[in-house]
Structure 1
Amino acid sequence: VRTDSGPNHEIRIEGDVLEVVSPDQNRQQTDIFIQSDGSVYPRQFAGLTLTDYSDDTIQTVNFSPDGPVENLAIKLQFTSDRMGQTFDRWLAVAPTSYSVVDMGPAQLELVQATTNDEVQELLREPNVDLGIAGTLQLGDRTIDVAQTLNQPIQLANGIIATITHVWPDFRLDENHQPTSSSDQFRNPALQLNIAQGEQPQAWFIFARPGFDPIRSGDRISSEENALAESIGELEKALEQGAIYTAPQPTTNYFRVVSTPEHQLLYAAKSSKGFQSGVLTEETSIRPGWADMRIALVKQLDHAQLQRQTVPVAPVASGTMESSGTPALHVSDSSGVSSWLQWGTPTTVETPNGSIFAAFSPKLLTLPFYVKLDDFIVERNEGSESVAMWTSQVTLFDPETDTAVQRSVWMNHPTWFRGWKLAQASWNPGDLQQSTLQLKREPWWVTALTWLGSLMVVCGIMVMFYGRAIARQLKKNVIPISRTTEDSTTSFSEGV
């Protein structure tokens, strides 16, 4: 469970399942058992043959030229004689995750420009005088964003503008709220609030050419002609003339720009300087990263992303840590085969139609929801060693519409609706995550467990101390004296 996610009511249990949806929409599911030698049981299921299993597979990426829509993709080749290696990298306009690729100390970019002004801006040499957050141009006024952040900017006729937020890599989160996915200025944007009296108005201004400013909220209205004219001029300036110039990336980069005429240009930055020019398949570029050379291998105008799962060749034990994903290899009666990566639904195209298959963990649905409110790590005083970690959770019962808050830490579980929740592990690199262990354990099972433990303790005590206690009890018995015995005998004879 995580603090930044919603309530969860599914738990991972031991085992895996294979779910298959045939071309006639018939859905089937079965448990999968992996033997120690890698064999799979069952061998046949839902018209598929389960032929193999691998603990370590990866997905290779390729682009085919038969895409249904226009989508630019290029394949670059990198060669280093000093390192004795040659490797390839794909860049594509879509998906966006392939338009910017990190490659160690450098960054690769592919941008499709829509205007010649945008082309010139993308090929411009980085300006080191733009400040740490760039500049905002409002008409004939240039504003340093970092120095004026959250500071009121006085404009004409009592209008006040304030730069409230700067997002280096603008995105919308799952709640459709602005956020930045990184600290790199890849898609910079800022929020400019303007106000006249109590009438606020927010503007989102983007540094990327071709993205017009967006107004959030109603227009500021005024009955005074002069003020209304001033506000109208300001809004027109924001819509047409507001320019946010963000600082260029300080890291090394190689940027490929596609012009409106579909010509490829490049801009490269390194510690040795900046260069730009035309990129063709005959061009060999030395960007200044040691002895690295870059060449254009392939250009596709209608590229379509293709992924293929392949097993990783085994290496000697301890040589390299496995970083791949388990996968199940299946084939159908026509001979079409595919690797199904664990946790990733896959569509297998066969002559008889598309088969949807998923090799996934076995999940169990709980009768209640668990929400991680906070994860607290306590450390020993004077050191960074961990003393204890605690999960503060909220347990919600949908049947009774009630919620309770509990704290769970090591050797201190909690019970809810016949389930035992215990702290299993935690991730030192991510304190927003906690792993809980859930066990079906009604109260009478717990009582029997404690009773059994008590009996074990009593048995151990009897085993070690039973004889000594028995001897002590024998010593404390008072013996009957001889005189008492004689008196008792005489009394009996007299009677």
Structure 2
Amino acid sequence: MAAKSSENKVGQSLFLNGQIARAVFKFFASLQLAIGTLSALMIILAVGTIVESRFSADAARILVYDTPWLTLILIVLVLNLACSAADRLPWQKKHIGFVLTHLGIIIVLAGSLATQEAAVDGQMSMTEGSSGKWVTLKEPMLYVYAQAFKEERMVPFKERALRWKGREKIAQFQTEGKEAQLFLTQFYPNVKTEAGWVAAEKGPGAIQVSLWNSFVNVKQWLADVPASRELPLGPAVLKWASQFAQPEKQPTQSAIELKSAEGVWSVPLPADSNLPFEHQIADGFFVKILSLYRHAYVEENILKEGLPPEHADNPAAVFEITKDGKTERHTVFAQFPDFPTVHGKHESELGFQAVYIDPRFVQLASKNELRFVPQPDGLYYQIINDDKLKQGKVEAGKEVQTGWMDLKFKAEQVLPHAAADMKVLPLDDDDPSEAAVAAVSLKIQSPHGSQSFWLAEGLQKSLMLEDGLFEMVYGRRQLALGFEVMLKDFRVKFDPGTERPAAYESDVVVKDFTRGTSFEKTISMNQPLVYRGFHVYQAGYQQNPDGTESSVFAVARDPGIPLKYAGAAIMVFGILLMFYTRAYSSRNEKGLK
């Protein structure tokens, strides 16, 4: 009896499990689930479209498309389609189109999931002659060097689309007797950074200056460091200098000025009666003035003396330069200094350029400059207005007239010793400003104390704490391509008659050391480089501070594309087969009737 009772319980359990399995199967195969899943998917895609138009494509990707719940909905839809097709078992010929259509949709969704999980979308840029083998992705990353802990680490943190404030531990450093934690406390997707200075116990001097009139109003920092000593501002130049400027003097005597890589020399011109005249500059280096033309003009390619009515007064000199046993003959004109020697139109094997300086035609360059000069008793200003000089002691908050364009200046802050500081100015989350970057507020905490600071993307921060030196860079995660791309040449094509870029082209050399291959390719906007699953597109270019240009490439790899294409083809074939089967069945039914 006991054995029979046990068998009954097992049978009941199997029956119950079978009922549950059938109920679950019927639920996933139901039309109601299909309608609900598709409705939810349409709502999510609509929300994604709104977010993208309101903020950006990255915001839509982070908040909608790359979310676990969208992945879950896609998985439920795949199960619904699979169970719906399986519910027709055993399949007949009339079900082939239906099954293929469902199979195609399942394959397309599988491709979408593969794209979501494994796609690569990044950038790389390089100048001519440089190489690149790393792609910069969108995932944020901190590169941290902790000197006291003898550790370099890449610290990833969650990518966000909107402002965030909280406390999230992203790294911990530990060694014998020491411990430190790194926290993320704030995130801004769009900020502008403003370099500044704060008072310190030691360091270079610095001053914050306001310069304004009825049309302009600017506030800038100057400091006694190479990158912050001079600031051009259109009508004037602000400068931190070690000494006061001296007034420029108008030349009083005609001379020939020689320039080369070795220096600048002035050769005074004598009276006509003292020609030829020889002037020695150094051993084996001298200049011989052969002839002077007080009123020179050229007729039939011959230099002549005189002043025809149609010609302007134009002194000229013919001279020879002898250096290291070599002699060159040159002609220079006072009124036309670029003809023929000064700009290289007459090649000089000795490497000289010459200018005829005549006091009648020399005009001192117009110059407006506001100079700050540290002295033992404080900081002084000097206003240079063409050939006029004015100076005084700097007093914080005192307005001073500059004499140019009704401009005034005022010292907002005067710091005898200063340390560099960076201010973060938040912008709206949807601000399209090209200068905007992301920024994070971080906090380092240890038993000896804590320190908070802001770090903008692309910038570096160094902190000296009791636990030692911490250096951090806010960047993006990088992915190895597996091969190297070298930029040989970059070209920009412009629309005719304009300076508007029309197209970009890059000649590159691809080197794959693992496969031992190398080849050349021209990448343009519609002709990408396709290699080892990567598509490298010409995305644009950027102007570098040193005047060079960097070619910018968009790099993509999508393992889901073959599945999407295959699934779409199967789905279309299945739909056509469904229509054909239905039409064929209808004709047969009419024939039977």
Deviation readout 1:403-431 (Å, 9 max, x if unpaired)? 32111223432333x14233252138689
- How far apart, CA to CA, are the structure 1 residues paired with 2:508 and 2:188? 37
Provide the secondary structure at the position in 2 that maps to 1:279.
strand
Structure showing greater Rg: 2
Compared CA separation, residues 330 and 135, structure 1 to 2 (3 A): same
Deviation at 1:362, TM superposition (A): 0.7
Q: Which residue of 2 aligns with 1:434?
A: 551
Q: 2:406 aligned with 1:281, yes or no?
A: no
Say yes or no: does 1:389 pair with 2:518.
no
The answer (yes or no) to whether the contact 1:3–1:371 under 8 Å persists in 2 is no
Whether 1:52 aligns to 2:186 is yes
Are residues 370 and 67 of structure 1, via their aligned partners in 2, closer, same or farther at CA, if it must alter by over 3 Å?
A: same
Could you tell me which residue of structure 2 aligns to residue 358 of structure 1? Answer: 473
Aligned CA distance change for structure 1 residues 156 and 463 (closer, same or farther; 3 Å): farther
Report if the CA contact (8 A) 2:523-2:538 is conserved: no
- Select which of 236, 239, 245 maps to 1:109: 239
Q: Which of 187, 199, 218 is residue 64 of structure 1 equivalent to? A: 199
Q: Which amino acid aligns with 2:371?
A: R
How far off is 1:377 after superposition? 3.8
Aligned to 1:422: 536
Shift of 1:106: 1.7
> What amino acid does structure 2 have at the position aligned with 1:327?
A
| Other-structure match for 1:32 | 157
**Equivalence for 1:16:** 140
Secondary structure of the structure 2 residue equivalent to 1:66: coil
Q: Deviations over 1:299-334 (max 9, x none)?
A: 555x343213x332446976x947343211122333
Decide whether aligned partners of structure 1 residues 275 and 65 sit closer, same or farther in structure 2, where only a CA change above 3 A counts: farther
Contact 2:253 2:268 (8 Å CA) reproduced:
no
Identity %: 17
1:438 maps to a residue whose letter is V
Q: 2: CA distance between counterparts of 1:48 and 1:326? A: 19
Q: Judging changes above 3 Å, is the alpha-carbon distance between structure 1 residues 367 and 92 closer, same or farther for their aligned structure 2 residues?
A: same
Aligned in 2, Cα 1:456/1:392: closer, same or farther, shift over 3 Å?
farther
Shift of 1:379: 5.4
Shift in Å, 1:289: 3.1
Residues 427-466 of structure 1: CA deviation (Å, up to 9, x unaligned): 3868933322334479xx88777766766786788799x7
**1:7 corresponds to:** 131
Give the Cα separation in 1 of the matches to 2:374 and 2:477: 47
Matched, 1:90 2:205: no
Q: Which residue of 1 aligns with 2:369?
A: 253
Mapping of residues 237-248 of structure 1, within 5 Å: none
Q: Summarize the alignment of residues 43-442 of structure 1 with structure 2, pairs less than 5 Å apart.
A: 43-44=168-169, 45-46=171-172, 47-55=181-189, 56-64=191-199, 66-67=201-202, 71-78=204-211, 80=213, 82=214, 88-93=219-224, 95-113=225-243, 119=244, 122-125=245-248, 138=265, 140-141=267-268, 159=285, 195-197=323-325, 250-257=366-373, 264=380, 266-269=382-385, 274-281=387-394, 285-296=400-411, 303-308=417-422, 310-314=423-427, 321=433, 323-333=435-445, 334-378=449-493, 388-399=503-514, 402-416=517-531, 418-427=532-541, 432-440=549-557
CA distance in 2, matches of 1:40, 1:267: 47
What amino acid is aligned across from residue 8 of structure 1 in structure 2?
G
Alpha-carbon distance, 1:393 to partner: 0.9
Q: TM-score, normalised by structure 1?
A: 0.58
Shift of the 386–278 alpha-carbon distance from structure 1 to 2, 3 Å rule, reads closer
Q: Structure 1 pair 300/362, CA: closer, same or farther in 2 (3 Å)?
A: same
Deviation per residue, 1:453-488 (Å, 9 max, x gap): 766786788799x79x99xxxxxxxxxxxxxxxxxx
CA 1:458–1:434 in 2, change beyond 3 Å: closer, same or farther? farther
Residue 168 of structure 2 aligns with an amino acid whose one-letter code is R
With over 3 angstroms needed to count, the CA separation of the structure-2 counterparts of 1:266 and 1:156, relative to structure 1, is closer
Q: State how far apart, in whole Å, the 2-side matches of 1:40 and 1:196 are.
A: 73
Number of equivalent positions = 364
Matched-pair contact (CA < 8 Å) for 2:485–2:511: yes
Gaps of 5+ in 1: 114-118, 143-152, 162-192, 201-245, 471-495
Cα RMSD for the two superposed structures: 5.0
Q: CA deviation at 1:280?
A: 0.6
Asked if 1 retains the 8 angstrom alpha-carbon contact of 2:463 and 2:470, the reply is yes
Cα deviation for residue 367 of structure 1 reads 2.2
| Shift, 1:373, TM fit | 1.8
